[in-house]
Amino acid sequence: MYVEDPARTGESRLSDGRLLGWAEWGPPDGVPVLCCPGAATSRRLGFGAGVVEALGVRLVAVDRPGLGVSTPAPGRTFADFAGDIRQLGALRGLGRPAMVGNSQGAPFALACAAAGVISALAVVSGADEVAAPEFASALTADLRGLVQRTARDPEGAEEFFAGFSAEAMWGMVMAGSPECDLAVYQDPDFAGAYRRALADGFAQGAAGYARDTVLAMGRWPFALDEITVPVDIWYGELDTSHSPDNGASLATRMPGAHYRVVPGIGGALLWTHAEPVLKALLARAAADR
């Protein structure tokens, strides 16, 4: 199995009254590892079915504001999200946990690392900083147009992304994935879980996804070279949708980052290689204590 239903779900009330939704897998007294999910997916899409139990991991996935059951926060920033995670850690007794950032969740996870909220980070098939000048010539014409539009008119770009739907996201992922990934995504159990997570992600409308996308597609306001927590960067060799260079330059921007490219897989890496990702993350977090 690639995924399984959460063992526990709930919402935590933050200091400003907003709710932050979460889902957990693994033993309640396990080593806490936060999951920052991909674009438009809710807390309910975890990873590492069976693996988290075997490794003694308490995996906690979080709905970003406006997605799933988390209260919307119009105009929110990366720093705001890091603050939310700091509060969640205190409310749920997580301490300073390790984190996995997948796909569009990666820059939000990096913001948490930059703020010192987490103890170690695994970026898995992470959305790269496509607005960085060095990528300008490497982007497809369509993506370059979206990046330029976001820089020129972020409010207008947010309105544009707010026109997306769960069905549109599913179609976009299916159309842009290699056969090795489709074998995962179209597995009946995974497809059902993924589509439910997308439906949850858009349950309050598309504003949460739109805000995420404008933030991720713009320049990131934190200094990658000042991140001091251990970072692992994982990309599938056949991943053509998350980074123009499969994270190679991203790795060079963080001193001490461990960079891994896995053959034979693309963006589905988190679900096909959950065990090595988690084992490496736990080892990095333990070594830094």
Reading the block at residue 248, the tokens are: 């190679």
Average pLDDT, the chain: 97
172-184 pLDDT tens trace: 999 999 999 999 9
3-39 pLDDT tens trace: 999 999 999 999 999 999 999 999 999 999 999 999 9
Q: Which of 108, 202, 218 is nearest to 157 (CA)?
A: 218
Return all residues near 131 (Cβ < 8 A) that are at least 6 apart: 147, 150, 151, 217, 218, 219
289 burial via Cβ count (<10 Å: 0-12, 13-18, 19+) = exposed
**Rounded Cα distance, 247 and 124, in Å:** 10
Position 289 pLDDT exceeds 80: no
Q: Under CATH, domain 8-288 is a member of which superfamily?
A: Alpha/Beta hydrolase fold, catalytic domain (3.40.50.1820)
Are 33 and 100 within 8 A, CB to CB? yes
**What's the confidence (pLDDT) of residue 287?**
85
Amino acid identity at 72: P
Across the range 220-236, mean pLDDT stands at 97
86 burial via Cβ count (<10 Å: 0-12, 13-18, 19+) = middle
Are 157 and 271 within 8 A, CB to CB? no
Instruction: Report residue 1's pLDDT band, with 50, 70 and 90 as the boundaries.
Output: confident
26-83 pLDDT tens trace: 999 999 999 999 999 999 999 999 999 999 999 999 999 999 999 999 999 999 999 9
DSSP, res 192 = H
DSSP, res 67 = S
266-284 pLDDT tens trace: 999 999 999 999 999 999 9
Domain parsing of the chain, residue ranges: 8-288
Reading the block at residue 124, the tokens are: 């898995």
Return all residues near 252 (Cβ < 8 A) that are at least 6 apart: none
Sign for the CA dihedral angle at 175, 125, 92, 204 comes to negative
Beta-ladder partners of 11 = 21
**Rounded Cα distance, 244 and 181, in Å:** 18
Beta-ladder partners of 59 = 25, 33
Position 139 pLDDT exceeds 90: yes
Dmax (CA) for the chain in angstroms is 48
**Rounded Cα distance, 38 and 28, in Å:** 24
**Rounded Cα distance, 181 and 194, in Å:** 13
182 φ/ψ angles, rounded to the nearest 5 degrees: -60, -30
* Residues 222/250/135/36 CA torsion (nearest 10 deg): -70
**Rounded Cα distance, 135 and 170, in Å:** 26
Q: Which residue shows structure tokens 């438009």?
A: 40
